[in-house]
Structure 1
Amino acid sequence: MAFHFRQLCFSSALLAVVIQLLHGVSSQLVVVEEPISAPPPPLVDLNGGPGYGIVPALFIFGDSLIDNGNNNNIPSFAKANYFPYGIDFNGGPTGRFCNGLTMVDGIAQLLGLPLIPAYSEATGDQVLRGVNYASAAAGILPDTGGNFVGRIPFDQQIHNFEATLDQIAGKSGGAVAVADSVARSLFFIGMGSNDYLNNYLMPNFPTRNQFNSQQFGDHLVQQYTNQLTRLYNLGGRKFVVAGLGRMGCIPSILAQGNDGKCSEEVNQLVVPFNTNVKTMITNLNQNLPDAKFIYLDIAQMLEDIVANQAAYGFTTMDKGCCGIGKNRGQITCLPFETPCANRDQYVFWDAFHPTEKVNLIMAKKAFAGDRTVAYPINIQELASLS
C-alpha cells in the first residue's frame, strides 16, 4: 500500500501539542504511586545462594516499550505517568507505556527478581537487584526522538549505568565482588524502533536523504556494536538483545494508510536492521572473551500471536485500546481518556505499544522459547550459564 511519510510527522507534531496542553492538568490530578505488591525477595546475595533470583540483577536499556518512569521528571512530550496508563497496574500510573506490566517486568518475575526500578527512582539497596535505564523516544542515535524534546539516548543510558556501578561498589564489598556480580547479571537491551519511527521516517530529519534502508541498517548496527562493546567493557557478560517487530502493523502506521493493511514498506525497512543485529551478535560472541549474547526475534513472536490470535484470546489486532482517530492510532492515549473494557482481547494498548497480555506472552517466549524466538539460547538457559 502507499505510505505517506509526511502524515506521520503531522501526527507526531499534533500529539506533542495535545500532550503538552493536557499534561499539566494530568500531573496535578494524577498521583503516581509505587506499585503495591507482596514484599520483595531478600537482596540478591552477590555470591549466589538458594532462594534468590537465578541471576544477581537485571539491567535494562531501551525505549518506551520498556521505560518504567525515567521520563516522568524530565521536560519531554514522551510521558505516560497519567491515567489510564497503568489502569491494570497495582498502584496506578508509573510511567510505563502500557495498561499494566511490560515485557521486562515479566522477565524479571520469571528470573525470580522483583520489578526493576527506574534509574530516576532507584534508591539504596534496590540497585543491587538491577536498574531500568530505558527512556521513551530514545534511540541508538543521539538525535533520535528530538521531536519529543527530552529523552535519554542509549549513550546516556550507558553513562547512567556507570554511575550505578559506583553506587554498587559502595555497598557490596569491593571491586572484585562487583565485577563477579555484574558478570553474572543479565543485560536486556531493546533499542532501534525510534531510530525509524522518530528519526528515519520523519521529514524534518535528514536521515532518509543520507541513507537508503540498507545503509541506515548498517549505520545503526555499527553504532550499536560500539555501544554494546562499551557495556561489555564495563563488566557485562550476559546480554539479551531484542530485535524489532513488524512496525508497519502498529495502529499509528495503519492510521496513515487507506486500505487497512500493514505497511509492507515500513516492515521491509527494518529488515536490514534485524539481519545486521543477528550478525552482530554472532560476531560479538566470537570476538569478546566470555561474552554471551542472545537475540530475541520480536517479529516472530508477534507473527505467532497474529497467526494464532483466537488461541491466545485476541479479537482486535489493528486498533489501540486507548487512542483517538483512525485505528485509535492518530493520537495516542490522552489523560483521562476512557480505554476499551476488554483489554485482554487487544494486541495494542495505544498507537505504538502492546497490551500487558502481549508483553507477558512475549516474556514467557523469551524466557523459555525455542530457537525460532530466542537464538542461540533462551533467557533461562543464558541465566543458568556459569
Structure 2
Amino acid sequence: MAGLECKYLALFFMLLVWGGGNAEEDEMAPAMFIFGDSLIDNGNNNNLPSFAKANYFPYGIDFDDGPTGRFSNGYTMVDQIAQMLGLPLIPAYTQASGSEVLHGINYASAAAGILDVTGRNFVGRIPFNQQIRNFENTLDQLSDQLGGPDQLADSIARCIFFVGMGSNDYLNNYLMPNYATRNQYNSQQFANLLIQQYTRQLNNLYNLGARKFVLSGVGLLGCIPSILAQNANSRCSDDVNRLVMPFNTNMKAMVNNLNNNLPAANFIYIDIFRMFNDILNNARSYGT
C-alpha cells in the first residue's frame, strides 16, 4: 500500500475515533489488537505452509532488516495508526513474547476470511475465527502481567480493536472458479451470509471484553492488480466493484445495530471503498 494511502487512512481513523475523545485521559489507547488479512498481516504467515507469504524481496525493501512478512514495501496502515497513537509497531502473534503483548498484538493473516473455507487455494492461513481464538490465548498472558481479571477487563475496554475482513471472501472464495459459492448465492445473499457470520464474530470479541472497534469496509476490489490483469484494457472491473457494494451496505447497518444493542461499545465504520475511489479520481488533490 502506498505511503499516501496509509497516511490518509490513519488520519481519517484518528479523526473518527478521537475527535470526541476525553482530553483528560492520559493516553489515547494502551494497546491495539488487529485482525485481518494481507493488507495488515505483518508476518503471521511466515512459518505457515502457505502460498500467501511476503517474507522475501521486494517486499519490505524500506525496512532496515529487509522483508518482515508485510505485503508492502514498508509500513501498513495499522503501523501508521499505531505510530499516531503513540504505540510501538504492534508485533505479529507468532512473534510476540513477554511484555510486548502489553501494547497489543497483530493476528492478521494473508488469505484469511470471515468464512473459514475462504483462502483454501493458498493452503495455510489463519481465518478470523482462529484469530479470535488466538486473542483468547493472549488474554491469559495479559491477565498474569496486569495483575488479575479486574485489571485486565479495565485495560481491554480501553484498547482499540481494528478489524479489516471480507476482501478474501470475494477474491479467494466467491470469485474463484473452484468454489461453489457463486452458484449457491447471488451477491446480496452472499453479503447477508458474510454479515451474519461477521456479527457473531464481533459479538464474540465483545464478550471477551473488547469495547472500541474500528471496522474497515471492503475497498475497490475491481481495481486491484490481479483483477486489472484479467481485463484486456487494464481498467477497473465495474462488475467486481458492484459485487462488494451489498457487503459494505450491510456493514453500515451492522455497525448501527451493534452500537444500539451492545452496552458501552463503540463501533466505527471506515468507508475504504469511498476513500480509495476519491484517491483514484482526485489524485492531484493528494499531491500525486
TM-score (norm 1): 0.67
AA paired with 2:161? F
Matching of residue 112 in structure 1 with residue 112 in structure 2: no
Deviation of 1:89 after TM superposition, in Å, equals 2.2
Q: Supply the distance in 1 between the matched residues of 2:258 and 2:63 (Cα, whole angstroms).
A: 37
Q: Map 1:1-386 onto structure 2 (within 5 A).
A: 53-314=27-288
1:81-110 CA deviation, whole Å, 9 max, x = no partner?
011100112321100000010000000011
Structure 2 stretches lacking a partner, 5+ long:
1-23
Q: Is the 8 A contact 1:52 1:112 kept in 2?
A: no
The code of the aligned residue for 1:163 comes to N
Q: Which structure: larger Rg?
A: 1
Rounded to whole Å, the distance in 2 between the matches of 1:166 and 1:104 is 24
How big is each residue's C-alpha offset from its partner over 1:210-265, in whole Å with a ceiling of 9 and x where there is no partner?
A: 10000000000000000000000000000000001111011110110122321111
Q: Counterparts of 1:76 and 1:136 in 2: how far apart (Å)?
A: 9
Secondary structure at 2:145 match in 1: coil
Paired letter, 2:239: E
Separation in 2 of the partners of 1:250 and 1:130? 30
**How far has the Cα of 1:304 moved from its partner?**
1.8
SS, match of residue 146 in structure 2: coil
Identity of matched residues, %: 69
Q: How many residues end up aligned between the 2 structures?
A: 265
Q: CA deviation at 1:131?
A: 0.1
**What SS does the aligned partner of 1:290 have?**
coil
Would the alpha carbon gap of residues 273 and 169 (structure 1) be closer, same or farther in structure 2, given more than 3 Å must change? Answer: same
The DSSP-based 3-state class of the residue aligned with 1:187 is strand
| 1:53–1:113 Cα contact (<8 Å) kept | no
* Runs of 4+ more than 4 Å apart: 50-53
Q: Deviations over 1:255-304 (max 9, x none)?
A: 10122321111000000000000000000000111110000010111122
**1:174-194 per-position Cα deviation (integer Å, ceiling 9, x unaligned):** 100000000000000000000
